[in-house]
Amino acid sequence: MAENRNTGTSHGNCNENVCIDCNRILDSCRDKDCFENVRVYLSTFGQDIIEKTSNIRVKKTKVVWTYLGLEPVQFNRGFYSINVRFYTKITFEACIAPGKVQEFEGICVTEKRVILYGSEGNVNIFKCESGEQCFCKCPGSDMQYTNAPTVVCEVTDPIALGVKVAKDEINCCNCCCSVEDIPKRVCDCLDCSLCEDDFDMKKLYISLGFFSVIRIERPAQYMISAREYTVPEKVCVETNEEDPCSTFAKMSFPINEFYPPSYRDLSGGIGCGCTNK
């Protein structure tokens, strides 16, 4: 509906230099990690299922929490070691009888480490917003900050590459914790509590592929060239409830929903040996 779009206009072409406070990205990296044979911690219900069948497939994966640890690298000033631990909830489907499928969930933990440059410097920052009683505020409140580096991790939900049930323990460097080490906030994502480890019980393992971007930031001030602030000219328009068909008539026909793009349109012919001609 074109009348509800506004690109904004300036009341003048005046450019000026303004100072802003924002986070500066000092270093970043992207990665494609494959973790093989990661132990899946199951509930008692899920454990009973894998004891009876090994015909299991993955239905859904979801990263429910990520732990980020930041430590300076000794004898290498300005660099930091970043420990990233992904907690992933996996939803499985098991064939327990002909034509009968049962879902169950589990938690797996994967870990990686990267080194990024975060620069140096450590100052105390105090803030007070208008309307707050900052003078008599209790010590230890959120008034005080530092310019220490901050780690940001962006990760997609992992791709399930394989799953198997094994009676014996599989040595895996990615199994970095036990059931007791999984945080409560992660365990609360399941419908029931996790099952305690037992040497004689079967174990479920999964292979996962992660795409992630990790960056390290610090607060900084910058002088930038900016244009005069613009006040929106568009007036907020409410939907006409008395004539809903007129609103519907202004909507564009969703052609892409009926004619999805082909693989050639999305990839440009790259990846299958074919090229656009």
Write down the residue that tokens 């429910």 correspond to.
Answer: 64
44 φ, ψ to 5°? -60, -35
pLDDT by residue, tens only, the chain of 277 residues: 455 555 455 555 667 888 998 999 999 999 999 999 999 999 889 999 999 888 999 999 999 999 999 999 998 889 999 999 999 999 999 998 888 899 999 999 999 999 999 998 778 878 777 665 655 565 555 567 777 899 999 999 999 999 999 887 776 655 556 788 888 899 888 888 888 877 788 999 999 999 999 999 998 889 988 877 777 887 777 766 677 788 788 888 888 878 877 777 776 655 555 555 4
Q: How far is Cα 264 from Cα 276, in angstroms, rounded to an integer?
A: 8
pLDDT score of 230: 75
Rounded to an integer, what distance in angstroms lies between the CA atom of residue 187 and that of residue 40?
13
Q: What are 221's two structure tokens?
A: 């001030």
Nearest CA-CA partner of 229 in 4, 19, 14, 6:
14
Rg for the chain, CA atoms, rounded: 27
Query: 87's torsion region: left (phi>0), alpha (psi -120 to 50) or beta?
Result: beta
CA 152 to chain centre: 10
Cβ neighbours, 10 Å, residue 25: 11
SS3 assignment for 32-83? EEEEEEEEEEEEHHHHHHHHHCCCEEEEEEEEEEEEEEEEECCCCCCEEEEE
Do 268 and 42 meet the contact criterion of CB atoms below 8 Å apart? no
Beta strand 150-155 pairing with 144-146: unpaired
